[in-house]
Every structure is written in structure tokens, then in C-alpha cells.
Amino acid sequence: MTQTSWTPPDSSAAGATLETFILEGMFKVPGATGAFTSLLNQIGLAAKLIANRVRRAGLADVLGWTGDTNVQGESVQKLDVISNDTFIAVLRRRGHCMGIASEELDDAVLFPHATGGYLVTVDPLDGSSNIDVDISIGTIFGILRADSRPITTASFLKPGREFSAAGYVIYGSSTVLVMTTGEGVHGFTWDPGAGEFFLSHENIRCPQKGNLYSVNEGNASRWTPGVRAWNEHVKSVDVADGRPYSQRYVGSLVADAHRTLLKGGIFAYPADTKSPEGKLRLLYEAGPMAFIFEAAGGSASTGTGRVLDVVPQTLHSRCPLIIGSRSDVATFERFSRG
């Protein structure tokens, strides 16, 4: 029998684990030291460990409240604590991460021994009020360069446009890690049998226009007249424009953002009279999501300006967040500006 040369069945995706994909990216960057690649791999490891715990949550006595409250005054669940501890334990290794700002911690955790030059912002388990009812939850992260010494809280207070990378993990019907270094947004689906994330969504592009809107309408009485007018607009009938839009709202940012990224439309958590700065946190919720949506060809707005230009005043600063298809975010801004 004659030996013939073998070609992979699918040259783009076959065998492309998260680690392989990140390594191949490093080889394309002249002079790359491997520190950034190694850090991204560590984040992938933390995601695997958290995914494993989330999958077993109902069986492993990790559901429920710890009895503590976090810096936002919210009740802390056991899985929040586990996920936060996992990130810190994994990222303090290898010396690439010099500090972490987490939703669960009042102050940043600094690693004085590290030399790798990167800082990580993270919401280790977003949407945790949904844990007990088996609804999708997630992890959101951003990576910043630590470009001055010594590292202090101020080192983290940079606008989102300065992220070197951002991503999220959705623990849903599948576990999917979506990340970008600013050029191309890619998704990797967890294969529990193989114990690996495999490339499943290469070069995600957010549709330019959608037909879904996602907002907590229970807040309508607190919105500005402009936001209320936008809400009426998306529900009004205009067949040529695809209206009325359908509503989808999970109440887990990662779930609402993931659907919006893949299917288009708009997710909005605007400022209101209860939360004049918005509800979502800039450094580890709104900022990373804005970075991802812009890299995927979508938009991210505060309602009046670019989310990625907002400079956080504290580690836990909040920001209105309107993300989605370019056309839909532009329509929101038109109403919001009045």
C-alpha cells in the first residue's frame, strides 16, 4: 500500500487547545518572552478549576451563603470565595502577575516577588445570585501592563482601552472561555472528557444589527426619559427595521453578554436614580466586556461616550454599560443623548 501524506481534517480547529492557540499566538510576536502567554494559560487553568467546582456545586456542599458581605455590601456565597481563592492561588505562581484586583476584595492583592509585569482584574464568579437556581454564571477578567513601580492601587486605575487582554468564561449548558488580545475574539469550549478547552468559535464577529434587547425593565421608573424613550422604541412596530425586538434578560452579565456577542442586539445596564454611576463595575465587568465587544466589531457605550475611555477612580468604580451590535448601540445613544 502506498503511503500518502496526511492532512488534518480541519486545519483551523483540529487539536487547537486553548494552550496551543495561545502558544501559536506567541510565536507570531517577535521578541515575545512568553510571560504573557504563560499568564493567559494560568487564567485558563483557574477557569478549569472553577468550572469543575461549579459543575459539582449542588453535590459538594458549596452552595449557599458564607454569612459574610463583600465590599459592595452583597452577600458572599461559598463559590464566590472558592473562585476568588482559586484565582489568587493560581496567579501567584510563575511570577507573571504582580497583583490582582478582585470584586471579592476591598484592596488589591500584590505579589512583590513577581517580575512579569502584568496586573489582573477579575470578577471570579459573576451573577452569583443565580448559583442556587442553576442558571448560567461566569468569570470576567482583564489584563493590564504594570508599567510603573512600585505597584499600588493606582497602578490598576487605567481606562479599559489599556487592557492587554480581556475575556470571560460562561459556565452554561457548555463551559466556554472567550478571550481577546484586542485583535480577534476567540471562544474555546471545555471538553470535560479530555480536560481541555478546544477552539470552537474562531474570530467571533458581533452582528452589526440584531433583534434582541436585554435590560432589567423593573428599573424603568428609575431611568432617564431618554432611556425610557429607547425602551419604547425597541418595542414599537416597524417591520422594515425588525421591530418590535424580542426581550431576553438572564441577570448574569456573562450570559447576557455572550448571547448578545453571538446573536447581536443590545444589552443595557444604564445609569438610573438608584445607581447614578450604573451598577456594573468598570475594572472587572464593564471594561473587559467593552474591550471584547469592540474587538469583535461591536460597540460599548456609557450611553453618551466610549466605556473604554472611562478612567476608574477606585478599584470598585461603577459605570453604565450598553454593549452590542453597532447599529443598536448607536440607536441607544441617540435616544440617551436626547
Distance of closest approach, residue 75 Cβ to ligand AHG, in angstroms: 9
Question: What count of residues does the chain have?
Answer: 338
Q: Examine residue 129 and tell whether it contacts ligand AHG (CB under 6 A).
A: yes
Q: Contact at 8 Å (CB) between 167 and 292?
A: yes
Contact residues for 160 (Cβ-Cβ < 8 A; gap 6+): 142, 166, 282, 286, 287, 288, 290, 291, 307, 308, 309, 310
- Rounded Cα distance between 97 and 82, Å, is 19
Distance of closest approach, residue 114 Cβ to ligand AHG, in angstroms: 28
Residues 267-296: x where in contact with ligand AHG by CB under 6 A, - otherwise, as a string = --x---------x-----------------
Q: Examine residue 216 and tell whether it contacts ligand AHG (CB under 6 A).
A: yes
Cell 458581533 sits at which residue?
A: 206
> In the complex with ligand AHG, which residue's Cβ is closer, 16 or 322?
322
Residues numbered 72 to 111 that lie near ligand AHG (CB under 6 A) are: 74
Cell 448574569 sits at which residue?
A: 252
- Residue 92 in grid coordinates: 501567584
Q: Contact at 8 Å (CB) between 281 and 248?
A: no
Residues numbered 4 to 23 that lie near ligand AHG (CB under 6 A) are: none
- Residue 307 in grid coordinates: 466605556
Q: Judged by CB under 6 A, which of 15, 64, 251, 305 binds ligand AHG? A: 251
DSSP one-letter code for 252: -
> In the complex with ligand AHG, which residue's Cβ is closer, 15 or 276?
276
Distance of closest approach, residue 285 Cβ to ligand AHG, in angstroms: 7
- Contacts to ligand AHG by CB under 6 A: 74, 126-129, 216, 251-253, 256, 269, 279
